[in-house]
Structure 1
């Protein structure tokens, strides 16, 4: 039985934000850090209950707001297999956070007592990490306040980590006969890189060098521990925007979201004539990466998540063909509605690779990839994604008697790619390995297909919940009549499409527009944005 007086004291101490309504987004809670103490206290309870429901298996908790401004923060809950919290528990987390925020003292005591008592007999295990935001330590204490005091949870606090690094020990804790250390992450992925580059006699990158923009986030701290372990990279890589100790510089004028959204170079890189380097940008917690280069006219050229998917699909399809397994193992790409239409046509028509569309959020893409393919490649256009290899893939490739170069490479790829979650460092290595093996320059990669011009716009609305979508978020069912108006607008432009999707973290909607020219895409975006505002 939980002590009601203890519950009251803990709520009084840690849940100072009252009367605020919280919403669970596509990857967890995210908001201004000053309002998250109540959410973190609730998360400690939910994470412990999830661990208890899984007989004490470790559940991960990552305190981060990814690409958001430095003043924000948030939290992600990670399943023992490294995937995101199962959707059926999201409503439980939301309901508890809102009860703690707006419920009566008696209702809160009863609910927490009921939840905590249901876990008697099993001690929960939590794996905890945080990014470099200054609000992280304070919010961690709110999490520990409920997890330790109400559940006596066994907690391993790894301190500053990238989000993928937190997923790593969460998923490995039960498979190793000792505690999982951060060093294991560095060793595993650098060893895979070294082995695959030696196998293919890679002695240099197919460009003048690599420049990594770390968004002044925790990835900047970790990349310096990683690069020296990697052959070829240690002498050819420049790291910029790696000052995670300057809180206000996080994601400011740099990082994957800035580069993708603004279609421009981040702070720290200047346009240089004849520059043949490859650039990449992480986001604040290093679970996204986008690439780019400067063409012969010193013009910025983006290589986003669509390009990463296409590159990996091209390469893996080749390996399967060379190994005689193309017809044996299924391979496909999972995209969201934000994927450029040209990338979809390239995959389907030129590579003969099936494409599935999923709702926005890697938890949805991950599910589709696992459910449909032996090799499931998924990347959101923002650079968040990975490749999933099924048990059938491992059994089939492992049983091949002909140990060809292609077969050996297929065995190594799953070791190089972090399959639990999108990982900027691991994905960067996979892209660099493929480009080096194919001997493709950045411009060669960029010329595989031509993107349709597009624009992603944010429209602030009074209530985003009114915008309800179907067909994997490509069509609206509410507000009534708005979709028909969007369809009519789209019909006036060439090679056009547009859709409206409610934000998962703020009262805003995203308007995506695509057309034959940038001028038409911009005009279509403006028309649809105006229609959205008129419907409010």
Structure 2
């Protein structure tokens, strides 16, 4: 059943458009009531990225949570994985991250974590959503039972220490020159400090957030600035985070981009050699390149595919006992350490693997040659373009052309009004042709 507020990654939309103070207030009240179970004093932790609208949403959520009797601990700007970790570490009933991840500054979002540090299930999100539009006045706490709010200081140091402890105690990156792009987002403080504490020579970019510049021409969705900086300063490696630091891409010493598929291959190989894989394979989404699947098969490993969204990857990992998974976009989930994608932790693991092999990043992180893959987005304002007869016929014709020489994937985005059209195969010209045909048909339907 379609839901009004929750998408594939919490609630997301334009600040003061879809995501208003009133909605945030009601989300706080509804989520607070759902997690107000037992006789103990209830607690929620709230983190955010660096968007200007974070202040507005944070205050509205505080009002909602305290009104139903939950104490609120405010973390300030912190990565999404840090909020997940601290929710569990601080024995909170609920964790909240205010972020729209890689979206521009004028969007924002609300992500919720349970007391175990994992994102909420669809069932619990639906329970919260059912309450949002109801009259919750009868659920308000009595004056003496209202919650308190407190801003915590120096919590960033706790997350840095957590990230460092995913490495051997004597691990040092002395002599490695790193450029880290923090996307002017939630990792702007913790990522450079963690790398410096581990001995790196750190050059930081995208580390001066002003409320408006998050993800603007920096970060994992705009890696050109990092690629240029790596070449300029002759760095050994570049690390690109996104706005809430739950995803990472790498740039090698030549200034070439390394995507999430290659990073998952590196980690899978290393874990397999060390006997650390809990299952003979990894979990990724339908977007991951066929080259990754073939490479893993050559090592006797499987690639289990899920719908797009790191939550679906994690759900499959937990259900089937895998400890490595992720997305081509850079969500790397290492469940031995984290309950969600963690850009900093994944970057540290890759750095350690590079150091152990004593080879440049360009060699360590190029595990396979990807098949030609074309991804195009078609934006639409209303309607359901994929149900148009012309689009249906174009997709069928494209699949017939590809036959067994590739694959075609068309899906609506779960976070914005966009249809994503992806094709891949051994013949680039054929892939480009079929993708162009489908994009044209979707575009015509969207404009109708």
TM-score normalised according to structure 2 size:
0.78
Looking at structure 2, the residues matched to 491 and 74 of structure 1 have their Cα atoms a distance apart, in angstroms, of 40
Residues 305 and 384, structure 1, Cα contact 8 Å, conserved in 2: yes
2:106 to 71, 81, 104: 71
Shift of 1:280: 1.7
TM-aligned CA distance change 1:520 to 1:80, over 3 Å: same
Match of 1:432 in 2: 351
Match of 2:241 in 1: 282
Match of 1:238 in 2: 203
Name stretches of at least 5 consecutive residues in structure 1 with no aligned partner: 1-20, 100-107, 122-148, 160-179, 260-264, 390-416, 468-477
Cα deviations by residue, 1:297-348 (Å, 9 ceiling, x for unpaired)? xxx532111111111110010011xxxx87xx4242111111011011111x
Match of 1:215 in 2: 183
Match of 2:66 in 1: none
Residue 488 (structure 1) aligned with residue 372 (structure 2): no
Residues 70 and 248, structure 1, Cα contact 8 Å, conserved in 2: yes
Match of 2:274 in 1: 319
Residue 34 (structure 1) aligned with residue 40 (structure 2): no
Residue 357 (structure 1) aligned with residue 305 (structure 2): yes
Q: Secondary structure at the match of 1:195?
A: coil
Residue 308 (structure 1) aligned with residue 263 (structure 2): yes
Q: Secondary structure at the match of 2:36?
A: helix
Looking at structure 1, the residues matched to 377 and 144 of structure 2 have their Cα atoms a distance apart, in angstroms, of 41
Instruction: Write the mapping of 1:397-412 to structure 2, written as runs, cut at 5 A.
Output: none
Residue 445 (structure 1) aligned with residue 361 (structure 2): no
Instruction: Write the mapping of 1:133-532 to structure 2, written as runs, cut at 5 A.
Output: 152-153=146-147, 155=149, 157-158=151-152, 181-193=155-167, 195=169, 197=171, 204-205=175-176, 209-230=177-198, 232-233=199-200, 236-244=201-209, 246-259=210-223, 265-266=224-225, 269-270=228-229, 272=231, 275=234, 277-293=236-252, 295=254, 301-320=256-275, 329-347=278-296, 349-373=297-321, 375-389=322-336, 417=337, 419-463=338-382, 467=386, 478=387, 482=391, 485-493=394-402, 495-532=405-442
Greater share of residues in helix: 1
Cα deviations by residue, 1:202-249 (Å, 9 ceiling, x for unpaired)? 7554xxx2211111112112224323321x32xx221111111x2332
Aligned residues: 390
Q: Secondary structure at the match of 1:47?
A: helix
Looking at structure 1, the residues matched to 226 and 235 of structure 2 have their Cα atoms a distance apart, in angstroms, of 19
Name stretches of at least 5 consecutive residues in structure 2 with no aligned partner: 43-91
Shift of 1:155: 4.6
Residue 47 (structure 1) aligned with residue 31 (structure 2): yes
Q: Secondary structure at the match of 2:216?
A: coil
RMSD: 3.1
Looking at structure 1, the residues matched to 383 and 339 of structure 2 have their Cα atoms a distance apart, in angstroms, of 31
Shift of 1:502: 1.0
Residues 46 and 93, structure 1, Cα contact 8 Å, conserved in 2: yes
Shift of 1:266: 2.1
Q: Secondary structure at the match of 1:247?
A: coil
TM-aligned CA distance change 1:238 to 1:276, over 3 Å: closer
Q: Secondary structure at the match of 2:169?
A: helix
TM-score normalised according to structure 1 size:
0.66
Looking at structure 2, the residues matched to 377 and 439 of structure 1 have their Cα atoms a distance apart, in angstroms, of 23
